[in-house]
A and B are shown apart, each in its own frame.
Chain A
Amino acid sequence: MEPEEQSGPGLVFHPLDQFIVKPAFGDGVVNWYTVTNVTVWMGITLLCIFALFVLGSRGRAIIPSRTQSVVEMIYGFIYKMIEDISGKDATRYFPYVMTVFLFILFANYLALIPMSYSPTSMIAVTATLGFGAFIAITILGFVKNGMGFLSLFWVSAAPLALRPVIALIEIISYFVRPVSLSIRLVGNIAAGHVVLKVFAGFAAIAVASPAAILGIVAIYGLEVLVAGIQAYVFTILICVYLKDALHPHH
C-alpha cells in the first residue's frame, strides 16, 4: 500500500478497496467456488454463531450462565418479535427468521473488527437475502391462501373507485420491498465502512489526524449502533412481510 507514490499530487484515497473480493489463499481468478475473503468472514460468522448458540447453551442450565442468558435473550427477543408481529402461527418459521437475523447481526458486528471484511456491505449478499426472503414469503402467501393472497392488494376498506389506484400502488410497493430491504442494509453498512476508511486516510496527514481520529471514534460508535439496528430492521420487516403472507386480509 503506497498511495502517495501512486496518486502523485494531492491525496487519493481508496476507500472502496476494502470491498474487493480476492482469493483467501494465493492469487488467481475468483470463480464461484473459490474460497475468498468473503468465504472466510462468512465462515467466521458461522463459527461465532455456533460458539454462542451451541457451546453457549451447552450447560442446559435451569439457572443460566452468562453466555446462556445472552443466547436465551436473543432467542426470546426474536421469538417474541415473530409472535407479536406475524402471529402465533408464524412461529414455525422462527428458525428461518433467526438464521437471517443472526447472519446479518454477526456479519455486521464482525465487520467492525479492523482489517475484517463485511459480507453485508456487498449488494450481491444483501440482494440474495432480500430477494430470497421476498420470493419465499410470496410463494408461502400463495400456498397458504391461494388466490386469496391477492386480496392483500385489493383494500376492501377503501372506496370502490379508489381501489384500482390503491391496488396499483400496493403492487408497486410490494415489489419494491426486496429492493428496499437489500439497498437499506448494503447502504448503511458500506457507507459506514467507506466513511471510516476516508477518516482513516485523513489520519495519515499530521494536521488533520486528531480530528480524523476523533471522527473515526465517533463514526465507529455510530456504526456499532447501525450494525445492530440494521439487523433488527431487516428482521422486523421480514416479520411484517410474513404477516402479510399469512394473513393477507386486512
Chain B
Amino acid sequence: METETNQVAGVCVDAGGYALGMPQLCADWMPNQIFWLIITLIAIFFVLSRIALPRIGAVLAERSGTITNDIAAAEDYRNKAAQAEAAYEQALADARTEAQAIIATAKADIQAELDIELQKADAEIAAKTAESEAAIAEIRESSVKSITAVAKDTAKELVLAMGGTADAKTITAAVTARMKG
C-alpha cells in the first residue's frame, strides 16, 4: 500500500493516481480548499464592495435621477404648452371682444351721422313746406282782394247802369257785408 507515488500524491489516491473513496472527504486536502476559498471570497468581496457595487449603485441612482428629472422637465414643458394655449385663447377672446367693440362704435357713429342728416333733411323739408304755405296764403289773400275790388267795381257799375246813384261808401259797405255773408 505504501509506495513511492503514494507518498508523493498523498493518502487519498492510490498508486495509479485514482481516488480512494470520495476526494471530498479527504481531510488532507481540506485546509488547502478552505484557505484558498477564504482568500478568493475576500478578494471577491473587496472587488465588489470597493469598485463594482458602488459604481453600479451610482449608475443606477444617476439613471433614476435622470429619469425623474426628464419626467419633471416634460411636465414643465406640458405646463408651458398649456399656458401658451391659454394665452392664445385669451388673445383670441380679446380680439373678438375688441372687434365687437369696434363694430358697435362704427355702428353708433354711422347712426349718429344718419340721424343728423335725417334731421337736416327734415328741417329743410319743413322750411320748404312753410315757405310754400306762406306763398299759397299770399296768393289766396291777393285773390280775395282782387275779387273784392272787382265786386265793388261791378256793383258800382251795376248801380249806375240801373240809374241809381250811389256813393262809394255805401257800395263798399254793402259789398263787404255780402262778402262776409
Contacts and interface: CB of A to CB of B under 8 A. Distances in A.
Contacts of B22: 16, 19
A125 B35 CA distance: 9
B53 A75 contact: yes
Contact of A53 (B19, B34, B47): B47
Interface stretch (A23-31, A108-116, A222-230, A231-239): A23-31
A19 B33 contact: no
B9 A95 contact: no
Contact of B44 (A6, A32, A57, A103): A103
Nearest to B45: A99
Contacts of B21: 16
B105 interface: no
Contact of B66 (A30, A62, A72, A129): A62
Interface in A45-103: 45-46, 49-50, 53-54, 57, 60-62, 64, 68, 71-72, 75-76, 94-96, 98-100, 102-103
Contacts of B55: 54, 57, 60
B40 A46 contact: yes
B88 interface: no
A190 B139 CA distance: 150
A54 B56 CA distance: 9
A6 B76 CA distance: 81
A91 B62 CA distance: 19
B93 to A, nearest CB: 45
A211 B53 CA distance: 46
Interface in B9-28: 9-10, 12-13, 16-19, 21-26, 28
B31 interface: yes
A14 interface: yes
Contacts of A100: 41
Interface string B25-61: 1101111111111111101110111011101111110
B36 A19 contact: no
B53 A14 contact: no
Contacts of A95: 45, 48-49, 53
Contacts of A57: 52, 55-56, 59
B63 interface: yes
Q: In terms of DSSP, what is the predominant structure of the interface of chain B?
A: helix
B55 to A, nearest CB: 5
B64 to A, nearest CB: 10
B33 A60 contact: no
A19 B52 contact: no
B25 A123 contact: yes
A29 B47 CA distance: 31
A161 interface: no
Given A14-B19, A16-B22, A54 B32 contact: no
From B19, B24, B47, name the one whose CB has the most chain A CB atoms within 10 angstroms: B24
A248 B41 CA distance: 28
A119 interface: yes
Contacts of B35: 32-33
A229 to B, nearest CB: 21
Nearest to B65: A62
A126 B59 CA distance: 33
Given A53-B48, A125-B34, A75 B56 contact: yes
Nearest to A35: B36
A38 interface: yes
B8 interface: yes
A32 B26 CA distance: 13
Given A103-B41, A124-B33, 4 more contacts: A38-B32, A49-B47, A57-B52, A99-B48
Closest 8 CB pairs of A and B: A32-B31, A53-B52, A19-B23, A95-B49, A124-B30, A21-B29, A42-B40, A124-B33
Interface of A: 6, 14, 16-17, 19-22, 27-34, 36, 38-39, 42-43, 45-46, 49-50, 53-54, 57, 60-62, 64, 68, 71-72, 75-76, 94-96, 98-100, 102-103, 119, 121-125, 128-129, 186, 190
